[in-house]
Each structure stands twice: as structure tokens, then as C-alpha cells.
Structure 1
Amino acid sequence: MDERMADLAYSAGWTLVRRSPERAGRAVFRRLADRSWRTHDGGTRGLERNLRRLLGPHAGDAQLRALSRAGMRSYMRYYYEMFRLPAMGREHVLANTRQSGIEVLEAHIRSGRGVVAALPHMGNWDHAGAWIAARGTPLTTVAQRLSPESLFQRFTSYRESLGMEVLPLTGGSANTVGTLARRLREGGLVCLLADRDISGTGLEVDFFGEKARMPSGPAALALNTGAALMPVSLWYDGPHWNIRVHDEIPVAAGASRSARIQDTTQELARVFEGAIAEHPEDWHMLQAVFSADHEADRARHREAEAAEREARER
């Protein structure tokens, strides 16, 4: 799908889904998930590549395929709810959310201590932001810049309508890292998805028995500002959304700043590992996470570039 069609598709989604009967809408997105799973498209293959590490080397193909089907259905449920969420209403969001640990996070905020909430791509992170904003805690988050610009602006406006301050990961007029640090020093809440390295500068950690790359930002912000680093996991349970705020991860001691960030990020990965293992069908990770997959992707990219150069030179 080209950029223009993607923009039109998302625009139609936000317009039509909220106006359609919920039962019918959910059924449509479930069918879309099953179609992707049956055709074993690129997204499904990417999800299975990650889930195979979670299941371990002795898992059979049937077990992997059953889990990936549940995973694709959960993933498309996220998309349905993304389009529907602005029309759900505050009371519906609050009434259908189950949580544990939020009191500790909110106590930090009330005391004037900032919190870095670090999340894996689980469940519905947009809902989680809308839910805590509805409880009276504003938050700041970061969004990956999308193309075309109009699509990025749609996502930004959508999340702002839910009560979030949204900063661009790249290309903004302000210093995003500096703004995040300022919000934390002011006693605010910063929420960051933290189980995938987008920038290419992430740290290598042990994750499900392999090396994986994760961003250093959450640990670095906690170290630089004194904010509490608190992992948050999300999952579905029937019609309910579930949110667990895990215990604070203290910034690790160490001889150097880089060692402290490395060790803290490793501990964050350990908490993510446990949370994902408990609810693997709700881990919406279709992209490369593990170092071996990053290297394989780079090798394929190099081969494609070489083939293109060779074709031009003929």
C-alpha cells in the first residue's frame, strides 16, 4: 500500500469504524486477522519469527501456528479499538479496565517525582494512555514519524484527543529528549514503548535466550532525572483491558554511566520477558527484535542493493 492509500485507509477507519455497530466491526477485523494468518503474509511471518523464540526450540509448528493466529486476532483487535476508542467515552474506558499497581505510580506523581512508564507492544497502549489520562494524570509520549506527514498528523491528533502530549521521535522543531527530561523533572508521566530498537542505536540485551536490541531511552531518562522507571504490561481478558504497573526498577549501580544504563535496560528486558511469557498472544511484535534477525534483514538489504546496482550497470 503506497503512502497516499495508507493515509486514505486510516482516515476512512477513524470515520467509519466509530459509526458502525460494534459487533459487526469487531467481526470484520477478526476476519482480517484470520485472512492474514491463513495467507501467512509478511506480518504473520514476522510475528511467528519472534514467537518461536518465546516458545523455545522444542515447540512444534502446530503450537506456533495456533499462537500466531491468536496473536494476529489480538493485533487486529488493537487496530479496531484504535479506530473506535475516540467514540467509546470516558466512563466505558474506566469501567472496563482492570489494573494493579497504579496507586504507586500515582503516588509518585502526587509527590512531585516523575515516572517513566516503559511498555512493550502488548494489548492496547493507546487505551492505557487514555485510561490514565481519564483518571486525571496527563502524560507525554513519543511517536515515530510516519509518511506521509498527513498520516503522522492524524495519529498525533488522535492521541492528543485522548489526553496525551505527543512528541515526534525525529524531525520536530523542539528537542524531544530535552522536553521529556523537563516533563520528568516537573513531576510528570512519560510513557514510552521500549521493546524494539527503532533508531538503530539501541542496546543489546538477553531476551528469551537470545540477544535482542532495545532502546536505552527509558533507563537514561531515569538516570538523568531521578524519575522512577516503572514497567507496564497490558493484555486482554474477554471484553476487559488489563494493566499491570510493575515494581520500580532502580537505576543500576556501576562504575560508568553506560554500564548503569546497560544493566538497567537488561533488568527492564527481564520484566518484559516475564510479562510477555504470561500473555504471549497479546505481544504485537511483527518487526525484528532479535539481533540475528536484524543482521539477516541487513544482509537481505545489502543483497537487494547489490542486485539493483548490477542491473543498472548492465
Structure 2
Amino acid sequence: MAERDGSAASGGLRARAVDAGFAAAWAVLKVMPEPMARGLGTLVADFTWRRQGKGVRQLEANLARVRPRASYLELRELSRAGMRSYLRYWMEAFRLPAWDDRRISGALRVEGREHLEAAMAAGRGTVLALPHMGNWDLAGAWVVRHCGYPFTTVAERLKPEALFERFVAYREGLGMEVLALTGSDLSVIATLAQRLRAGKLVCLVGDRDLSEAGVPVEFFGEATRMPAGPAALAQRTGAALLPVSLWYEGEVMGARIHPPVEVPAEVDKKTAKALMTQAMADIWAAEIDRHPQDWHMLQKFWIADLPKAAARTGREPAAEAAS
């Protein structure tokens, strides 16, 4: 009993330390000169890459699917670039609350804005779906401040609760409405559908499935699952479904809003959902192939990599899903 209590206390202490670390980063990094913050991000990325811990090893395993002919040394260099891209995301995230509209506008080069504007003008609601590429928070801030479209999104519930609340406050400060994926009496899907029927915008990260309801897709020639939500919401509400891709190019971030993925006619709902999700997967695979270092996937992703029980159900163990 004492050992169990000690373990719980240790876990609670670690959780408080993580929360305190994020709080300090948001407080300090946003006032640090930008070149210094960028340099710090590169140092942390390179240090983490050299240690070759679990996340880096998994990133390299994922990138090996994207670049199957790459040598070991080529994959190592690609994973190094990937970690630098990932840490750039975090450095920007910690600094983003202090950026004004001009700074946000200057940080992006956007293609396909006309697809978003046409969908919103139609008044039928819009779902923007994107993979874990680039800086999705920066893209969201741009949509709010420069397109004038506040939106609703969903956040995975983190531990400790204080850290989750900190992330919710951060994103709400950027103009987003944030719904917790779990742990609430609110029906996430029903709320998102309500927003879409009112002609509003919903933004969802759609490449990594954390539920038992994922849609089987082929991605870089292997089987995986992706969330059913984006396609299901478009089917259910008549909203436009627009895939998005993000990548870094020098000092700015590139963004592409793709043409809408339409609901296929004359097929049943399950088949339509599968076809729409595969269409998004194909678009994202092409974009990741162009910018593999900017796909921030440090978790197990393909079914072949999951434990047998998770591969059968589509659900990873809690420790994996939260990593």
C-alpha cells in the first residue's frame, strides 16, 4: 500500500512539474528575441534527436514508410529535420499569444483560400481537416484573424488536468472554441453538427485515430485507420469538407486549402465515409511525400506497429494514446 501511495505521489509530482514547465515556457519564450527562441528550439531538437529516445525512433519508423528506399543515414538526417520542425512548432506555440495580426499574416503563405471563402459563403458549414503537419495553431489563428471565421475544434484531454486547461485557454485566446474529446457530458459530435448546421466552421486534425470508430485506409501502401469524424460530419450536415496541408518553407509556413471532398452519390453511408476518408488520406500522403520532415508523427500510426489488441479494435493503450 505504501509503495502504491508512493508511486501515485511520484506521478502527481511529475504531472505538476510538467504543468509548471509549460507555464514557464509560455511566460518566458514569448518575450525572448525570436532568433534566440529559434536557436533554443534547434538546440533542444538536436539534443533530443541525438538521444534517440522512443519518440525519435518511432518518428524514424514512420518516415521509413514515407521514404522506403532511404538509407539508414538518410532516415537519420530526415528525422533530425523532423525534430527541428517539431520543436519549431512548439517554439511558435509558446510565442503565438504575443503575435499581433501583422506578424501572423506575415508568417503564412496560403494557397486555396478561395475554397474556404466559397464554402463559407454558401452558408452550409465547413469542415477543415488536416494532418499533424506544420503549425496547426498558427493556421487556426490566421483563419480567425485574417479570414474572420471563428471556429470550433476538439482537443484530446491531457494529464494533468491543469495542463489540459492551460492548452484550452491558449487556443481559446487565439479565437477557437475548444471541445474536450472525452470527460464531458457534452456530445462532441452533436455539438459540432450543430455548429455546422448554423453555417459555421469546424477544424479537426484528422490523420491519427484515437477511437474504436476509425475508418480503415491505405496510407503509403500500408493499412491504418483515420478518424471518421470529418467525413461523417460532412455527410450528416451537408457541410463542405476541405482537406488542408501545412509545411515550413524558410521563415514562413506554407498552407494549402484543397478543393472539397464531395460525398459520393449512389453508395451507402459507410462506403461513402470510407471513400471520403481515403480521398483525404491520398491528399495528405502526397503532401507528406513532398514535406516529410513537417509531418509530426512521433507515435505509432500504422496497424502493423500497434499491439495486437489495439490493431483489432483501433484503440491504442492509454499510455500510447496520450504520448
Give per-residue Cα distances to partners, 1:117-166, cap 9 Å, x unaligned.
10000000000000010021111100000111111110000001001111
Which residue of structure 2 aligns with residue 247 of structure 1?
259
- CA–CA distance in structure 2, aligned partners of residues 209 and 255 of structure 1: 25
Shift of 1:61: 0.3
| Corresponding position of 1:145 | 157
Query: Does the C-alpha gap of structure 1 residues 253 and 291 become closer, same or farther in structure 2, counting only changes over 3 Å?
Result: farther
User: Matched residues in 2 for 1:193 and 1:113: separation?
Assistant: 20
Partner of 1:186: 198
The residue number in structure 1 matching 2:115 is 104
Q: CA deviation at 1:296?
A: 6.1
Q: Equivalent of 2:294, from 282, 286, 301?
A: 282
Residue identity matched to 1:46? Q
Letter in 1 for 2:98: A
8 A Cα contact 2:133 2:294, kept in partner:
yes
Moved over 6 A (4+): none
Secondary structure at the counterpart of residue 19 of structure 1 = coil
CA deviation vs aligned residue, 1:34-91 (integer Å, no higher than 9, x gap): 01111111111111111000001x3210111111000000000000000000111111
- Distance (whole Å) between structure 1 residues aligned to residue 131 and residue 264 of structure 2: 20
1:93: which partner in 2? 104
Match of 1:209 among 221, 235, 241: 221
Report the TM-score, using the length of structure 2 for normalisation. Answer: 0.89
CA distance in 2, matches of 1:49, 1:213: 17
Q: Does residue 14 of structure 1 match 2:50?
A: no
Correspondence 1:128 to 2:139: yes
| Identity over aligned pairs, percent | 49
Alignment of 1:1-314 (within 5 A): 2-56=14-68, 58-135=69-146, 136-295=148-307
- Following the alignment from structure 1 to structure 2, what is the Cα–Cα distance between the partners of residues 13 and 252? 46
Give the superposed CA RMSD.
1.6
Normalising by structure 1, we get a TM-score of 0.92
Which SS does the other structure have where 1:84 is aligned? helix
SS at match of 2:154: strand
Q: How far is the alpha carbon of 1:111 from its aligned partner?
A: 2.4
Cα distance, 1:252 vs structure 2: 2.4
Question: Which amino acid is the alignment partner of residue 105 of structure 2?
Answer: L
Q: Does the aligned pair in 1 maintain the 2:115–2:258 contact within 8 Å?
A: no
Aligned positions, number:
299
